[in-house]
Every structure is written in C-alpha cells, then in structure tokens.
Structure 1
Amino acid sequence: MTSDSSGSHWFSRLRQHQIYKEFQRFFLSGLGATAIHYALMIWLVELGMRPTWLASSIGFICSAVVNFLLARYLVFDSKAPWKHAGLRYVLMIGGGLLINAIALAYLNSFIHYLIAQIGATGLVFIYNFFASKYWVHKSQ
C-alpha cells in the first residue's frame, strides 16, 4: 500500500466519524454567525465607535445568540434541557468574549483590527467547538 492510499484511507475513515460531521456543521453555522459579528463590528467601527474591542464585543454577543440556536438544533441535535444548556452557553460565551477581547486588544496594538479579529476568531472557534460539544450541549 502506498503512503498516498493509506493517507486517503485515513481521511475517508475520519469523515465517517460523528465528530468530523459535527465539526463541519459547526464550521458552516459558525460562518453565518461570524458574518453577523464582523458586519456589525465593521459598521460600528466605521461609524466611529472606539475602542475597537467594544464594537467587536457587541457584534460577538449578537452573533452568539444565532450561534447557540444553530448549534443546538443543526450541529449537535441537543437534548440537553434549555435551562441547563442556556446557562452553560452563557458561561461559555463569557469565556469566548474574554478570549476575543483580549486577543483583539493585543493583536490590534500592532496589526489592523480586521486582521487581528481573524486571529481572535480562530481562537474562539476552537474553544467554542470543544466547549459546546463536551459541555454545553452534552445531555446529562
């Protein structure tokens, strides 16, 4: 067996796992939520809102509501009680908001705010996926 065929066999097997499918759906639903976040942030910054982390945080919170609903119904098909999942989601989003604000404030000190926001978004995405899967939407 060549290394190419074993590599593609490995990828085929990976694609069959539930976590891969959930990660794909989480990524796609996250794109929609991220579009809301970025559009609102850019609009507020261009209207003159400063500091940029505040505009980003407002966009982040609005997109979080959309992201919760998409993750609950389309990504994880969660059966966790609303109160249980909702409280955990609020706590998770608080952590994500903190990661986003700190990363953006730090990165924006030496690069453009949009490029800084892309880096911050990547960190928050990874955090959100694992926290959502293994904590927020996990049935009791």
Structure 2
Amino acid sequence: MKKLIEQIMKFGVVGFLCFGIDYGLMIFLTEACRLSYLVSSGISFSVSVIVNYILSLKFVFDTGKDNNKIVEFLIFIVLSVIGLGINQALMWVCVDKLHVHYMISKIGVTGVVMVYNFVTRKLILEKGE
C-alpha cells in the first residue's frame, strides 16, 4: 500500500508538470496562434503525452528492464490515443454543448483523463509483482 501511495504521488507530480505543458501550450496556440480550441487542445495533449511517457517510465512505473521498449511505447501510444479521444470528446461537450469556457473545461477534463491514464498504465504497462 505504501508503494502504491508513493507511486500515485509520483504520478501526480509528473501529471502536474505535464498538465502545465498541456494547458499552457493549449492557451498559447488558441490565443496567440488563433487555432481552434480543439486543434490546440489536441496538439498540446500530444506534446504532453511524449513528456509524460518519458517521465512516467523513468520515475513512476516499474516496467522491467527486459521489456521490449518499442512494444511499451506502442502500448503507451494506444492508451494515449484513447485518452486523447476522451479529452477531445469531453472538451467538445463542455465547450460546445455546456458552454463552459475552454480554459475551465480543460481543468475538469484533465482530471478525468488523469484517472484513466493512471489506471490503464498501471494495469497494462507495469510488470507484475
């Protein structure tokens, strides 16, 4: 249990950093570059996924040194694409249907995707103990 709590805390730190990248880049692309919030949200999410992958495998999940890193990366990408789909769908619902500002929507959507990410990565990527 102690290891799980420590792992969740590390995941939180990595997630907070990646959220900063995701949120900041989304706002920059939307406001400064005048991209649609859905386009900028997709781009920013994708950039943060790459950073998250590197940090998660280095500091959060024990995937085993003998694991095939290409297979791990492909699994991570598939899980992330599903996460991107959840992100985009929820952003669309919140902004276009519920009329919540995109900056506020992103915060709530990130919470949902973060839970999905932790559970799926722990169950699928981490080596059995």
Q: Compute the TM-score of the two structures, normalised by the length of structure 1.
A: 0.83
Counterpart of 1:9 in structure 2 is none
Counterpart of 1:10 in structure 2 is none
Note the C-alpha offset of 1:106.
Answer: 0.5
Note the C-alpha offset of 1:76.
Answer: 1.4
Once the two structures are superposed, the pairs formed by residues 115-134 of structure 1 within 5 Å of their partners are 115-134=104-123
1:98 and 2:85 matched: yes
Q: Which has the larger radius of gyration?
A: 1
Residue identity matched to 2:120: A
Per-residue CA deviation, residues 66-117 of structure 1 (Å, 9 max, x unaligned), is 1011110101132132022111101000100000000001101211101111
Counterpart of 1:70 in structure 2 is 55
Q: Compute the TM-score of the two structures, normalised by the length of structure 2.
A: 0.90
- Structure 1 residue runs of 5 or longer lacking an equivalent are 1-15
Counterpart of 2:35 in structure 1 is 49
Off by >6 Å, runs of 4+ in structure 1: none
Once the two structures are superposed, the pairs formed by residues 17-32 of structure 1 within 5 Å of their partners are 17-32=2-17
SS of match in other structure, 1:111: coil
Structure 1 vs Structure 2 CA RMSD:
1.5
Structure having greater relative contact order (Cα 8 Å, sep ≥ 6): 2
How many residue pairs align between the two structures? 124
SS of match in other structure, 2:7: helix
Deviates most, 127-136 or 78-87: 78-87
> CA–CA distance in 2 between the matches of 1:137 and 1:83?
15
Q: Percent identity?
A: 30
> CA–CA distance in 2 between the matches of 1:137 and 1:90?
15
Question: Could you tell me whether the CA contact under 8 Å between 1:85 and 1:137 is conserved in 2?
Answer: no
> CA–CA distance in 2 between the matches of 1:104 and 1:83?
31
> CA–CA distance in 2 between the matches of 1:120 and 1:138?
28
Residue identity matched to 2:83: G
Question: Could you tell me whether the CA contact under 8 Å between 1:25 and 1:75 is conserved in 2?
Answer: yes
Note the C-alpha offset of 1:137.
Answer: 3.2
SS of match in other structure, 1:49: coil
